[in-house]
Chain A
Amino acid sequence: MIKFQNISKSYGHSIVLDDISFEIKQGEFVVLIGPSGCGKTTTLKTINRLIEPNKGKIFINGKDITKVNPVELRRTIGYVIQQIGLFPNMTVEQNIAVVPKLLKYPKPKWQEIVHNLLELVDMPYEEFAHKYPSELSGGQQQRIGVLRALAASPPIVLMDEPFGALDPITRDSLQEEVKHLQKKLKKTIVFVTHDMEEALRMADTIVFMNRGKIIQMASPEELLQNPADPIIKSFMGRHMENENNAPKLLAEDFMRTKVLKVPKTSHTLECIELMSRRDVNSLIVLNDDDTYAGTVTIEAIKAHGKAGREISELLSEDAVTIHRKEDARQAFDKLLASSSNYVIVLNDNRTVAGLITRTSMAKALGEALWGEMKS
């Protein structure tokens, strides 16, 4: 789909890209990684012609991109930049609609796109569409940055360290979201990072670069097992060391913060509808003051619920809970001991902070394993 053929780029005497050739397949999630200044951003920007190489050719679907008008080309390639880069003078809606408007989509069409995309990341249109970027949190801004890149359904999306500046929890959930979106929408994604963990988690294929050259291009498993160069090992090593020196891990470090919550007074039908829409089989139920009340499962509703009744009658208080500052280990033990798929993480005031699921636990265990492999 994207083919680099002997691409070189230099500024004066300094060679930034040194005869790079590689190919990215349709639907592939490719991660470019390497030390700072190795040429990742430059490589990415040659794809949408923000940078023109001195030598070599790039083909997209067999077509030499220098034969395409750069402005037209860029409208067909999604682009997420490192420093968010939302337009501060435009609302969330206007930001997301930038490319559809450039492509002269009629208003109802781009409005529908904005609605759908915001829904995709659980940011209700009514609440967020008319806010300005400065009124959003870093994580929310970055989500909008990603949505803006997807708005005109480009087959290719370029992402330059999109999550670099985010806290670990937000980064985690955004990584999950992007990976999910990519699979669902079948995009070809070229993603730049200097975080090995992120690369291993997201990539189908990792391209490791150093000093303007590709050192290794391989799947994450292959890269872990047979790193082609000592620098790759050291890159992982540095990452592992950090992991080992990290302070004690807490329950909150592993939770997902995106959880479905409903008030006690909800009715059975709306809960069923919500569960089927989100493809889950239980919901967290809150008291009037937002504190945790219990859970309700689809089985319970089906077995005992009558249409139009409040779910407070069907509440189960069996789910395992844990305080967010407790040791992560506790959470894992509880999760393994219980029959349920999750542990509910609570704040000081008994409001719900998040969930630890078997998936988030498996991820954490995987990391522990890589740490051991190294030592």
Chain B
Amino acid sequence: MINLWPLILEHMLIVVVATVISIALGVVLGVIAYWVRHVDTVIMWCAEAIQTIPSLALLAMLMIFFGLGNTTIIAGLVLYALLPIVRNTYTGLAGISHHIKDAARGMGMSKLQRLIKIELPLSFPLIFSGIKIAVVNSLSIAVMGVLIGAGGLGYPIYRGVQTRNLERILNGAIPVVLMALIFDYTMSKIEQRLIKRAR
């Protein structure tokens, strides 16, 4: 058996880096969609359009800009992760009761103060759900990275397919599935706690 740990760690690292970037980008875009009238439809449309591009095609296009390697798969994961995060940020912010928004305005909070002190904290449970979806999706999509020269668990799977070696395929696939399950389970637990606390 080959040592899988370096591959698992690299796989995780790719997903974590991509998630961090997509959270930053997604929340900012979600806020812009919430703040700027009419921009919301444009942003949502773009985020959804990206999802419809087949992953292989998307990665191929990104390869033109980023070349072979981890950067390209990270860029691809970021683009895929945007939709759930942007959408949930936007829905969360827009869904806050207008009484609370009125109160915050009436207390004399500026737009930015309202966002940071009231609106983002109240949307956090929903934003977190978006992040969970993004992470779980990214864990499996990251396998495609092997096709554009990135590391991670895609490699044993790909080699296994090429050599028609089931054991090798499972060596890569099982950790991916397990990681997805573990992340899904623990993040769902946290999500439930957040929702319960927000009531």
Chain A residues packing against B (C-beta within 8 Å): 48, 50, 71-76, 79, 81-89, 98-99, 102, 134, 148, 158
Cβ B118 vs Cβ A89 within 8 A:
yes
Cβ B99 vs Cβ A87 within 8 A:
no
Cβ B108 vs Cβ A75 within 8 A:
yes
Shortest CB distance B93–A (Å) = 14
CA distance A169 to B148 in the complex (A): 71
CA distance A102 to B112 in the complex (A): 12
Extra contacts, 12 of them, besides A81-B99, A102-B113 (Cβ < 8 A), are A50-B102, A50-B105, A71-B109, A79-B106, A81-B102, A85-B100, A87-B103, A88-B122, A89-B121, A98-B107, A134-B199, A158-B106
Cβ A88 vs Cβ B108 within 8 A:
no
Give the number of residue pairs across the A-B interface with Cβ within 8 Å.
Answer: 56
Main secondary structure of the interface of B (DSSP, over half): helix
Q: By CB atoms of chain B within 10 A, which of A73, A84, A102, A134 has the most?
A: A102
Cβ A89 vs Cβ B122 within 8 A:
yes
The 5 closest A-B pairs by CB, nearest first: A85-B103, A75-B108, A74-B108, A79-B106, A83-B99
CA distance A318 to B195 in the complex (A): 54
CA distance A99 to B109 in the complex (A): 8
Query: Number of B residues contacting the other chain (C-beta, 8 Å)?
Result: 19
Shortest CB distance B190–A (Å) = 17
Question: Which residues from chain A contact B108 at a C-beta distance below 8 Å?
Answer: 71-76, 99, 102
The reply on B79 being an interface residue by CB < 8 A is no
The reply on B198 being an interface residue by CB < 8 A is yes
Q: What are 28 residue pairs bridging A and B, where the CB atoms are less than 8 Å apart in the complex?
A: A50-B102, A50-B106, A71-B108, A71-B110, A73-B108, A74-B105, A74-B108, A75-B107, A76-B108, A82-B99, A84-B99, A85-B100, A85-B102, A85-B103, A86-B103, A87-B104, A87-B117, A87-B118, A88-B198, A89-B118, A89-B121, A89-B198, A98-B107, A98-B109, A99-B108, A102-B107, A134-B199, A158-B106
Q: By CB atoms of chain A within 10 A, which of B102, B104, B108, B198 has the most?
A: B108
**What mask results when residues 100 to 140 of chain B are scored 1 for a CB within 8 Å of chain A, else 0?**
10111111111001000110011000000000000000000
